[in-house]
Chain A
Amino acid sequence: MDKTINITLKVWRQRGPKERGAFESYKLDGISVDTSFLEMLDIQNEILINQGQEPIVFDHDCREGICGMCSLYINGHPHGPDEDITTCQLHMRKFKDGETITIEPWRSAGFPVIRDLMVDRTAFDKIIQAGGYTSINAGGAQDANAIPISKEDADEAMDSASCIGCGACVAACKNGSAMLFLSAKVSQLALLPQGRVEAAKRAKSMVAKMDELGFGNCTNTGACEVECPKNISISNIARLNREFITAKFKD
């Protein structure tokens, strides 16, 4: 039989954005250490449903670490204590028998709570809409091999493009800044010739949108990089700043 642990959950419950929330505690016994964190919450929810209570609401979808939907702040860390993973990839073997686990939503002015642990991240979509693309219509592209791109640049762009838009960087930041998210997109496109054309305009309009949406400024604490499940580097922020300053000089 698998090894099991007994735990206590301290979960943030909040009916709606304008309502007052509070922690509620649940005791959960006999959880297999091979269970994933979200499966553990499924088990807790099954218990609540069978008691006729409403389950804990949390965002999740792919459960393999790529969709960016899951978003829990566990024991003071976005996506929990393990490194380089999302909440859905976290397993109960990372917790000790008898441990109390505190689960909160992302807390940031940019991400209002919808219910319990579910937050509204529409602001990220709006930042991308402000310029996170190349202006190309379907059908207008030249042959894919027409412009060679050095492997180093392609690989670096790929690293920046790995961002899953989960918002852990914002949740980790004491200023609630979205700079890591924004800079990853600006970097990806600035590194590639296809995105170079609009690089300056893109950096300016995306930053302006971020400011407008109530995200804070970057003060280089580096917490975002540490908590990012996809290892997005803060060197992206440096590149964004270069793009931004160059764009301002051109004005």
Chain B
Amino acid sequence: MATILDPKKDSKIPDGPLADKWKNYKDHQKLVNPANKRRLDVIVVGTGLAGGSAAASLGEMGFNVLNFCIQDSPRRAHSIAAQGGINGAKNYQNDGDSVYRLFYDTIKGGDYRAREANVYRMAEVSNNIIDQCVAQGVPFAREYGGLLDNRSFGGSQVSRTFYAKGQTGQQLLLGAYSSLSRQVQKGSVKLYTRYEMLDLVIIDGKARGIIARNLVTGKIERFSAHAVVVGTGGYGNAFFLSTNAMGSNGSAAIQCYKKGAYFANPCFAQIHPTCIPVHGEFQSKLTLMSESLRNDGRIWVPKKKEDAEAIRAGKLKPTQLKEEDRDYYLERRYPAFGNLVPRDVASRAAKERCDAGFGVGGTGLAVYLDFSDAIKRLGKDTVEAKYGNLFQMYDKIVDDNPYETPMMIYPAIHYTMGGVWVDYELMTSIPGCFFIGEANFSDHGANRLGASALMQGLADGYFVLPYTIQNYLSDQITVPRFSTELPEFQQAEDDVNKKIAKLMSIKGTRSVDSIHKELGLIMWDFVGMGRTKESLEKAIEDIKKVKKEFWSNVRIPGEASTLNVELEKALRVADFLEIGYLMAIDGLSRNESCGGHFREEYQTPEGEALRRDDEYAYVSCWKFTGEDQEPELIKEPLDYEFVVRQQRNYKA
């Protein structure tokens, strides 16, 4: 019998009606007075939208912050690559939006596998985020009257997405980075760039520091604090090819998991429908084309198989195909939402058409995203103003002009809804260890809606964690600073050194990348868009083999005691192997389809995801039980108080 978490006691969901929970929490939580804040150290790992905004906010409040990132500057965090926009329930367009509607769309979009209270809180603070960013000087798109413009995104019927061209993530991150820089100047935040966290240090059951490697010198260093906040993003790179940055990794999550933090819903990974298709075996990453393109682009494949074959063979051009020979399959299947169905639905529909033999491109693994109607309707200039940078990006990569021929797109791994389990206060099952942004599991359920990742990262960093962390730190004010000479630090550093020494000593024959690619193929083939009991069982066996291969045959040139990029990659791949395994066993344990988790055995007669609320309306929390031991499954029931679960319907 699995352990069951109690929503009140363990998840700390506050009392009261949905709309009052966050207010009730803030009204009654404990705070730390200004004089005491200075005496408290907080480590923040990561400088993206979540980590950067949290570090800046904690610094503004007066805490002493140590902020780490693996890149050369906080501004490089991968949040910077988010394109389309950020949601906010401002209802500036007077089109019927509200906090409740943003909450409801997010819960429904997540296929009813997120916590109601968390999601409502995120929707509630979404408006503060927009205000904050504008005050920072984020140049959001504006109308001629000088007011903010909005566009619509998948999974909603209102226009609530604020954007800065196709570079919204960049502008929001630079906003957070500017606030962070201001605190660095003031001395409340100390930056550690080109540092990578390698372990969490626990003293008397509480998170009290980290072990990190200086990536330039190779030196292993110790850092102590009263609390540790982790905002290191998602683990999509377990698939090797993804839209994540090359350095994006899930290692901090795995380190904390192995120290007692639960890993929640690992199998919930999002496959984004509009990415540039794979071109060859040396491909290093996949490039996303913003979901915003689906506002004006129409997705289609040929209606007839012979046309698809002719296109694949290069004998027919898409522009030669008559209107009646095109199958706008999203508009056909989902008349109400059309090309703006949620990402999981759009991705599966593309896979279905390609698997059925209607795919285009050299490989047959691509569909068209066509702007010819939009260009006719709006003019080329308007289309260019809206999407110019995305069109240019496509042209540079594919060497094809999307103003003239339709873009080719195919789904790719993009975002992970799963992550380290946190309670309402964003604290993990390790006291004093907090997870924020994509790194935690909390707000998107089984599928994230477009323009909600930026919202969640900044909600956590600017407006949630700065409150909730005080409830924890309030009784830490008499705790003096910790010496890094304590035996717990020594032990953690020894463990890290042992792990590195082991990796360096293998001296095998295979590069880290070659093994990472092997893992990625297993993940894509067997833990990808469509999963079955058999495929997941195969993945579990295959991952075990790759793990064995890695630990006996990896080759890392150079020394550990200096800059060593291959060692950095090896440490991350070692953890991706653990994550891949967790994703597979989690997917196997969840005998239903929901959001990004599509078990082919569980679908409706129309091929939609078939949820099984009677048995699976819970969060799967995996507890580490030892190296190479099966983790224990703990369940957090998702008892909905306010929303009635329905089968998601984007048809009518």
A contacts, CB < 8 Å to B? 2, 32, 34-36, 38-39, 42-43, 46, 48-50, 52-55, 57, 59-69, 82, 84-85, 89, 91, 93, 114-115, 118, 120-122, 124-125, 128-130, 132-145, 148-151, 154-155, 157-158, 161-162, 164-165, 188-189, 192, 194-195
| Contact between B280 and A34, CB atoms less than 8 A apart | yes
- The residues of A that contact B170 with a CB separation of less than 8 Å are 66, 162, 164
Query: Would A61 and B245 be within 8 Å (CB), given that A54-B558, A144-B148 are in contact?
Result: yes
**Cross-interface CB contact of B393 among A64, A120, A195, cutoff 8 Å:** A64
Q: How many angstroms from the CA of A60 to the CA of B90 in the assembled complex?
A: 37
Minimal beta-carbon separation of B268 from chain A (angstroms)? 24
| Contact between A151 and B80, CB atoms less than 8 A apart | no
Q: How many angstroms from the CA of A122 to the CA of B178 in the assembled complex?
A: 15
Within 8 Å of chain A (Cβ to Cβ): is B402?
Answer: no
Minimal beta-carbon separation of B451 from chain A (angstroms)? 16
- The residues of A that contact B53 with a CB separation of less than 8 Å are 138
Minimal beta-carbon separation of B67 from chain A (angstroms)? 12
Minimal beta-carbon separation of B239 from chain A (angstroms)? 15
Query: Would A57 and B565 be within 8 Å (CB), given that A46-B514, A134-B135, A164-B170 are in contact?
Result: yes
Stretch of B69-77, B340-348, B406-414, B537-545 lying at the A interface: B69-77
| Contact between A115 and B563, CB atoms less than 8 A apart | yes
Q: How many angstroms from the CA of A4 to the CA of B132 in the assembled complex?
A: 50
The 6 closest A-B pairs by CB, nearest first: A148-B146, A133-B178, A141-B135, A141-B131, A158-B139, A157-B139
- The residues of A that contact B177 with a CB separation of less than 8 Å are 128
| Contact between B247 and A145, CB atoms less than 8 A apart | no
**Can you show 14 pairs from A to B with CB atoms below 8 A apart?**
A32-B280, A61-B247, A63-B287, A66-B167, A67-B80, A85-B396, A89-B397, A132-B181, A133-B136, A138-B57, A139-B462, A144-B90, A149-B146, A158-B141
The 0/1 profile, CB within 8 Å of A marked 1, for residues 220-244 of chain B is 0000000000000000000000000
Within 8 Å of chain A (Cβ to Cβ): is B147?
Answer: yes
| Contact between A68 and B76, CB atoms less than 8 A apart | yes
**Cross-interface CB contact of B399 among A67, A93, A138, cutoff 8 Å:** A93
Chain A residue with the shortest CB-CB distance to B189: A129
Chain A residue with the shortest CB-CB distance to B53: A138
Chain B residues 382 to 397 lying within 8 A of chain A, measured CB to CB, are 392-393, 396-397
| Contact between B565 and A140, CB atoms less than 8 A apart | no
Query: Would A128 and B181 be within 8 Å (CB), given that A32-B282, A42-B282, A62-B245 are in contact?
Result: yes
Minimal beta-carbon separation of B189 from chain A (angstroms)? 10
Query: Would A122 and B139 be within 8 Å (CB), given that A2-B280, A57-B565 are in contact?
Result: no
B135, B167, B193, B287 pick with most chain A CB within 10 angstroms: B135
Minimal beta-carbon separation of B127 from chain A (angstroms)? 8
| Contact between B246 and A63, CB atoms less than 8 A apart | yes
| Contact between B135 and A188, CB atoms less than 8 A apart | no
| Contact between A129 and B245, CB atoms less than 8 A apart | no
- The residues of B that contact A164 with a CB separation of less than 8 Å are 170
| Contact between A194 and B463, CB atoms less than 8 A apart | no
| Contact between B181 and A125, CB atoms less than 8 A apart | yes
Query: Would A161 and B557 be within 8 Å (CB), given that A115-B563, A154-B140 are in contact?
Result: no
- The residues of B that contact A89 with a CB separation of less than 8 Å are 393, 396-397
The 0/1 profile, CB within 8 Å of A marked 1, for residues 593-624 of chain B is 00000000000000000000000000000000
**Cross-interface CB contact of A66 among B80, B90, B130, cutoff 8 Å:** B80
- The residues of B that contact A66 with a CB separation of less than 8 Å are 80-81, 167, 169-170
- The residues of B that contact A162 with a CB separation of less than 8 Å are 165, 167, 170
Q: How many angstroms from the CA of A57 to the CA of B569 in the assembled complex?
A: 13
Chain B residues 46 to 105 lying within 8 A of chain A, measured CB to CB, are 53, 56-57, 60, 71-78, 80-81, 90, 92
Q: A46-B511, A148-B142 are in contact. List 13 more A-B contacts (CB 8 A).
A: A42-B284, A61-B78, A93-B399, A114-B216, A125-B181, A125-B184, A129-B181, A143-B131, A145-B90, A150-B146, A162-B170, A164-B170, A192-B139
Q: How many angstroms from the CA of A142 to the CA of B133 in the assembled complex?
A: 11
Q: How many angstroms from the CA of A38 to the CA of B245 in the assembled complex?
A: 13
Q: How many angstroms from the CA of A144 to the CA of B89 in the assembled complex?
A: 12
Query: Would A124 and B73 be within 8 Å (CB), given that A54-B557, A91-B396, A154-B142 are in contact?
Result: yes
Minimal beta-carbon separation of A14 from chain B (angstroms)? 12
B contacts, CB < 8 Å to A? 53, 56-57, 60, 71-78, 80-81, 90, 92, 128, 130-148, 164-165, 167, 169-171, 174, 177-179, 181-182, 184-185, 191, 193, 216, 245-247, 279-280, 282-285, 287-288, 392-393, 396-397, 399, 462-463, 466, 509, 511, 513-514, 555, 557-558, 563, 565-566
A67, A93, A136 pick with most chain B CB within 10 angstroms: A67
Q: How many angstroms from the CA of A49 to the CA of B557 in the assembled complex?
A: 7
- The residues of A that contact B148 with a CB separation of less than 8 Å are 144-145
| Contact between A165 and B282, CB atoms less than 8 A apart | no
| Contact between A194 and B284, CB atoms less than 8 A apart | no
Minimal beta-carbon separation of B419 from chain A (angstroms)? 21
Q: How many angstroms from the CA of A187 to the CA of B573 in the assembled complex?
A: 42
| Contact between B174 and A161, CB atoms less than 8 A apart | yes
Q: How many angstroms from the CA of A189 to the CA of B178 in the assembled complex?
A: 11
| Contact between A91 and B399, CB atoms less than 8 A apart | yes
Chain A residue with the shortest CB-CB distance to B170: A66
| Contact between A67 and B280, CB atoms less than 8 A apart | no
| Contact between A55 and B566, CB atoms less than 8 A apart | yes
Minimal beta-carbon separation of A158 from chain B (angstroms)? 4
- The residues of B that contact A151 with a CB separation of less than 8 Å are 142-144, 146
- The residues of A that contact B397 with a CB separation of less than 8 Å are 36, 89, 91
Q: How many angstroms from the CA of A64 to the CA of B80 in the assembled complex?
A: 10
**Cross-interface CB contact of B182 among A135, A139, A148, A188, cutoff 8 Å:** A135
- The residues of B that contact A49 with a CB separation of less than 8 Å are 511, 555, 557, 566
- The residues of A that contact B134 with a CB separation of less than 8 Å are 141, 144, 194
| Contact between B557 and A39, CB atoms less than 8 A apart | no
Minimal beta-carbon separation of B437 from chain A (angstroms)? 15
Minimal beta-carbon separation of B53 from chain A (angstroms)? 7
**Cross-interface CB contact of A129 among B185, B246, B393, cutoff 8 Å:** B185
Q: How many angstroms from the CA of A116 to the CA of B514 in the assembled complex?
A: 23
Q: How many angstroms from the CA of A3 to the CA of B577 in the assembled complex?
A: 35
Minimal beta-carbon separation of B272 from chain A (angstroms)? 13
Q: How many angstroms from the CA of A217 to the CA of B551 in the assembled complex?
A: 53
- The residues of A that contact B60 with a CB separation of less than 8 Å are 137-138
| Contact between A42 and B181, CB atoms less than 8 A apart | no
Query: Would A140 and B393 be within 8 Å (CB), given that A54-B558, A162-B167 are in contact?
Result: no
